[in-house]
Amino acid sequence: MNMVQRRDDGVSLIEMLVAVTILGTILGIVAQGLIQAQTTMADNASRLDGLSQTNLSLEGMTRVLRTAILPSQIQASCTGCDEAAFISGDDFEVEFYANVNNDSVEPTSNTFGPRRVAYEVTEDGSLVERIQKPNAHALNDFNFQYCDPDSPSCAIAERTLAWDVEVTHQDGTSRPLFRFFDRTGRRIETPLQSDALDQVDSIDIVLSVKPSDRADSVTVTARVTLPNADSLIQPTPTP
């Protein structure tokens, strides 16, 4: 059989099956590669988005935490005020006084004064920020008082900073969000006892977020030093 006759006869069934099998294999490999590339790109985009959101949450907390202050550091005649900037502290929550959201150096409203700020990881894994103004008072009244946060009439500014916050490691052990340290660098046991509240000099924040649709988590860390912890304000003017 010469070459002309072979071409006229066409291809055999076996040759066709081999060609189809090879073509199918090549197309399958290409399709699998495209799917894998799209999955990787989507995963990277999701991770970058999660990292960006987690960093923003951390920056928001550190900005406010650095303003933690004793009420008496705002006004020396603050009689009956707490003697520590921190009200309470634990692995997943902290409450403190902060010198934020005031009108100006010269008060122009009857709600100026240190804000009560709380950060807490709720049961559904949300990281929540709550900021509370002092009760209305005379401009020359520095005995700052605050309404009951659980009261419906108590006005509190609340926002969610992060979702899907991890509170445990893979082995089931606790994964604290906050760690408290004194000025010597010694870690303070939690929950903070009353005699340890005024010893807090810095806080480590380890924020780990793991959305339900992701296999791995995004973790960011920061150590927040508290500059006002070492500040001294003269109780009376120096002549």
pLDDT tens digits, one per residue of 79-109: 666 678 899 999 999 999 988 876 555 555 5
More confident residue, 143 or 209: 209
pLDDT value for 118: 95
More confident residue, 54 or 121: 121
Closest Cα partner for 205 from 215, 219, 217?
219
Closest Cα partner for 86 from 227, 174, 194, 10?
194
C-alpha to C-alpha distance for 177 and 175, rounded to whole angstroms: 7
Q: Is residue 38 part of a domain?
A: no
Domains: count for the chain:
1
pLDDT value for 92: 96
Q: Is residue 224 part of a domain?
A: yes
Q: Is residue 235 part of a domain?
A: no
The partner residues of 31 in beta bridges, in order of sequence, read none
Residue type, 64: V
Residue span of the structural domain in which 126 resides: 44-230
pTM: 0.73
Sheet harboring 156-162: ordered strands across? 86-89, 93-98, 115-121, 127-132, 156-162
Of 4-8, 98-102, 112-116, 202-206, the poorest mean pLDDT is in 4-8
Q: Is residue 223 part of a domain?
A: yes
Q: Is residue 116 part of a domain?
A: yes
